Amino acid sequence: MYKPPYWFLKNYKFDQKEINLVRDNLLNRKEELSEELTHTNSLTSFFTLNKPESIFLERYRKIVEEITQSAGIYFNTNYDFFYWLQVYEDGHDHIPHHHGEVQGLQNNSISFVHFLDVPDKKLFRFTDCNGQVFYPEEQKNGDIIYFPSWAWHQVLGNDSGQVRVAIAGNIKITRYANL
């Protein structure tokens, strides 16, 4: 049975008003953002400078610190991180992909997903080159999972009738210290 390496960090719910604010900001820019999309039909802030999710920056600094502590690399590395908003309306999906190299940004080590406001149906899954798939149990509102950036994953078409909102991110190790 296929089971990729991934870890559950914790359940950390954000205020629903803040989630709605960032979601609506992206939804209101649908036309502008759709020109950038080539591998997904979801709405994403990945390619834009106007990032409504920046209101969460200090929280994600702490979340990324917890991820690096949990992964055992906090005290012997320097790292950068980058995160972005994903909004999936009915029919929206994201094809199989990985974050090992994204838009020429190489050497991402750890990727994460924070399920902010998601339907009950699990739409995120890991996949491999043999067609095997694995659905993490941890896909409830507030759940945060992290995994090696080379792990292939996708989001299935949203047919729930509910807008799906998630934050995705990458952690890139910039320096390893000697032990």
Q: Does residue 97 fall inside a structural domain? A: yes
50-71 tens-digit pLDDT: 899 999 999 999 999 999 999 9
Both tokens assigned to 179: 């032990």
* 85-to-56, 73, 115, 128, 130 alpha-carbon distances in Å: 11, 26, 10, 25, 29
Both tokens assigned to 63: 């979340």
Q: Does residue 170 fall inside a structural domain? A: yes
Longest Cα pair distance anywhere in the chain, in angstroms? 51
Q: Does residue 127 fall inside a structural domain? A: yes
32 pLDDT exceeds 90? Answer: no
Owning domain of residue 16: 7-176
Total domains in the fold of the chain: 1
Output the pLDDT for position 3: 94
> Residue 30 maps to which CATH number?
2.60.120.620
Q: Does residue 162 fall inside a structural domain? A: yes
Q: Does residue 124 fall inside a structural domain? A: yes
38 pLDDT exceeds 60? Answer: no
Asked if 115 and 140 touch (Cβ cutoff 8 Å), the reply is yes
Q: Does residue 1 fall inside a structural domain? A: no
pLDDT category of residue 40 using cuts at 50, 70 and 90: low
Q: Could you give the angle at the alpha carbon of 84 between the alpha carbons of 94 and 70, nearest 5°?
A: 100
d(CA 115, CA 42): 15
Output the pLDDT for position 101: 77
Q: Does residue 2 fall inside a structural domain? A: no
Q: Does residue 17 fall inside a structural domain? A: yes
The whole-model pTM stands at 0.93
159-178 tens-digit pLDDT: 999 999 999 999 999 998 87
Q: Could you give the angle at the alpha carbon of 153 between the alpha carbons of 121 and 84, nearest 5°?
A: 85
Q: Stretch 118-127: mean pLDDT, rounded? A: 97
Output the pLDDT for position 173: 92
Both tokens assigned to 56: 């969460």
Q: Could you give the angle at the alpha carbon of 149 between the alpha carbons of 146 and 150, nearest 5°?
A: 130
